[in-house]
Structure 1
Amino acid sequence: MEAVRRLMDLRHRGRAEDLPAVLAAAAPLLDAQSARVLLVDYGQVALHPLRGATPGTATGHAVEDTLAGRAFTTAEHQWHDEGDGGLLWLPLLHGAERLGVLELRVKAQPSAAHRLDLEVIAALVAELIASRRFYGDAVEHTRRRLPMQLAAEIIWNQLPPLTFAVDGTIVTAVLEPCYEVGGDAFDYAANEDTLHVALFDTVGHGISASALTTLTLNTYRNARRSGLSLTDTCRSIDKWIRAQYPGAFVTALVAELDMATGRYRRISAGHPAELFLRGGRTLPSLPAPNALPLGLGHMVGRPPGVVEQRLEPGDTLVLYTDGITEARDASGELFGVDRLSEFLLDALNLGATAPETMRRLIQTIVSYEEGELRDDATAAMLQWRRRQG
């Protein structure tokens, strides 16, 4: 409890950069010789020590092929026995969002009861990181391994956490190139039984694209919060794009999921259809597009059409921008929809979680294009389970 009290003091008068020192001082109270926070970088490639008020030189761990990385990817604790003690890694989760891991050096492997207490500490540390990160730049300094371009800075500051879950339903997304992205974005919100999800792909690149994306995101949120229907939401976005950026356009998938019944409704505004996965196989795609790209809707007289599908528990939908399927290898071969479907089915069949499947997907796309993406690549996975109660 004394360790908890010391950490709780940061809630009211502390910064994220104060956490390493407070945690190190509290380690003996946890029967640990040391304790440190490791945060995942923007590319989700490695885990790095949280930058403190006095930056250190301690190294981190790769996500791939390390126990610390396994704690991050599986969201389960990992133990390394060193004979006279060992290292324990606990996942740092803010809701369903994976922040990194808490690393503890202890004299002996903790008992089950002691580990549960340490998991409470890890949960508190995650909450502190999430709540204090906006009062300084320590978290951003830790997570950034390359200079972030201004267009990407603008977009990342507009986005919700990459992963959200309520009961058994989860939505999780990835974006690349994470330090240069400017034209792709996603959003979601859960209101009562409705989960709102949207994916946008803006024409162009750089600052101009990020400005258009910012307008699109905030117009979408304004329409959603005003209680507009899917059709009227698309009309509103279309109107504002046309007014502020004549001739520009944004392709989009704008969707709603009733989490109680599995009723899925969406509009594809010039956007590729989502992948529809059920029971280890790919089902036929839903009709798409069923509206012109946002900003060009005035070219037709009819309102955007809404496609409806009744989901079954366990169904998975994957929304993506063309930067995923149009990625090219050295020979010029497209990654394509079939390869995307095969990759997702294989990952899910092997038991990978939705966030981990998305992380592996984006790493695969980056590797496929030999580290140099030709276009923004964004994907979001939506998995539905019947809401309890």
Structure 2
Amino acid sequence: MIYLADYPQTRLVELTAGTGAELPIETTLAGRAYISLEVQHATEDPDRLWVPLVDGCERLGVLEFVSPAAVNDEVEAACMEIAAHIAQLVKNRRPYGDTLERARRRMPMHLAAEIVWGLLPPLTFATDDVVVTAILEPCYDVGGDVFDYALNGDVLSFALFDTCGHGIAASTLAALTINAYRNARRSGLDLPDTAAAIDVWLRRRHPNSFATAILAELDHTTGILRTINAGHPGAQVLREGRAVKELPAPTALPLGLHHMSERRPDMHEESLQSGDRVLAYTDGVTDAFNAEGERFGLGRLLDLVQRALNDELPAPESMRRLVRAVVEHQFNELQDDATAVLVQWRPAQASK
């Protein structure tokens, strides 16, 4: 049986023609398989297996197997191979129908969220040298937070945008912003010219709006990271499970406001060490308030990420736990989008 993770990644939903069963991720063996990316055996039913459903490095859900024979290494290996093929089928068929999308939704999705989710790349991507993973909340009513990434040759480009406003206005602004970014990147522009190009389009089409952003390029052969911070919270460099540095912020005005300054956007250059991670986030993460009026805050954010990294959790699970903690802090009803992107540089030669 196929179980897919819902949008908030709190439950695994059975993929059936009717209403499927739901399994909590936090408290079930199926959820443990999803969290750990490892096969799980049911103690009370040794012939039942839960196998992660993963396409490349993107977690989709889990697969339940009930074996008529005793489970051994050979049976487990066969189940993992089947799961790999089914994951590819699920991923490849997703754009051609709505069955998979409907299964993942536990409540109606607002149009603004529909627009934003349609813009985003997969939440997780990895090669031998780099890992990119991201998270976005609230899932069904997001506004203007978007992210993007692309690997071209030696350079991983990634960006995080927080557009002003909420609802349809913010999502349409986000659509223009992310497509202007892609157009500039695909035209071969450097980071300052990319920022300038996005700024021009925002002023031309939305003269009274703006977007904060982090634009970045990582040379995965050298570890050189170049960033422009357009009015955004400073990205954090994490090393050996600890935050060691905040990248300069801001180095430019928000996108759409560059006409207020004659200065060209400043680009910061940072030399990463093998294993370093870069965490970029929107202010919806740190500015979430609980019932007592306490901000989630940067300290709480870094503490949570550091504990997840020290527990050696898979990167997507670290981000899932981060956003769940933010949501719970604000009594399960975020007042602003909470989005974060985590990039790890792990050069292949260092792992040999």
Establish whether TM, by shorter chain, passes 0.5: yes
Other-structure match for 1:69: 31
Aligned counterpart in structure 2 of residue 134 of structure 1, from 95, 108, 133? 95
Whichever residue aligns with residue 127 of structure 1, its letter is Q
Other-structure match for 1:214: 175
Contact between 1:81 and 1:109, CA under 8 Å: does it hold in 2? no
Secondary structure of the equivalent of 2:246?
coil
Deviation at 1:260, TM superposition (A): 1.0
Deviation at 1:107, TM superposition (A): 2.8
Aligned counterpart in structure 2 of residue 91 of structure 1, from 8, 29, 52? 52
Deviation at 1:135, TM superposition (A): 1.1
Other-structure match for 1:164: 125
> What does residue range 237-256 of structure 1 map to in structure 2 within 5 Å?
237-256=198-217
Deviation at 1:193, TM superposition (A): 1.3
Contact between 1:89 and 1:104, CA under 8 Å: does it hold in 2? yes
| Pair 1:303-2:264 in alignment | yes
Deviation at 1:280, TM superposition (A): 2.6
Deviation at 1:233, TM superposition (A): 0.4
Deviation at 1:57, TM superposition (A): 4.4
> What does residue range 1-389 of structure 1 map to in structure 2 within 5 Å?
36-51=1-16, 55-82=17-44, 85-388=46-349
Deviation at 1:184, TM superposition (A): 0.3
Q: CA RMSD in A?
A: 1.2
Deviation at 1:88, TM superposition (A): 0.4
Whichever residue aligns with residue 52 of structure 2, its letter is P
In structure 2, distance between residues paired with 1:363 and 1:280 = 20
In structure 1, distance between residues paired with 2:89 and 2:20 = 22
Contact between 2:242 and 2:306, CA under 8 Å: does it hold in 1? yes
TM-score under structure 2 length normalisation: 0.97
TM-score under structure 1 length normalisation: 0.88
1:144-178 deviation line (CA, Å, top 9, x unaligned): 00110000000000100000001141110010111
In structure 2, distance between residues paired with 1:109 and 1:351 = 31
In structure 2, distance between residues paired with 1:155 and 1:103 = 31
Q: Which aligned runs of 4 or more in structure 1 are off by greater than 4 angstroms?
A: none
User: Which segment is superposed worse, 215-224 or 277-286?
Assistant: 277-286
Other-structure match for 1:25: none
1:226-277 deviation line (CA, Å, top 9, x unaligned): 1110010000000000000002100000001111111101100000111111
In structure 1, distance between residues paired with 2:225 and 2:348 = 14
Deviation at 1:58, TM superposition (A): 4.5
Deviation at 1:294, TM superposition (A): 0.2
Which has the larger Rg? 1
Measured at CA, do residues 337 and 106 of structure 1 come closer, stay the same or move farther in structure 2, by a change above 3 Å? same
In structure 1, distance between residues paired with 2:207 and 2:311 = 47
Deviation at 1:130, TM superposition (A): 0.5
What percent of counterpart residues are identical? 53
Q: Please, which runs of 5 or more residues in structure 2 have no aligned partner? A: none
Q: Please, which runs of 5 or more residues in structure 1 have no aligned partner? A: 1-35
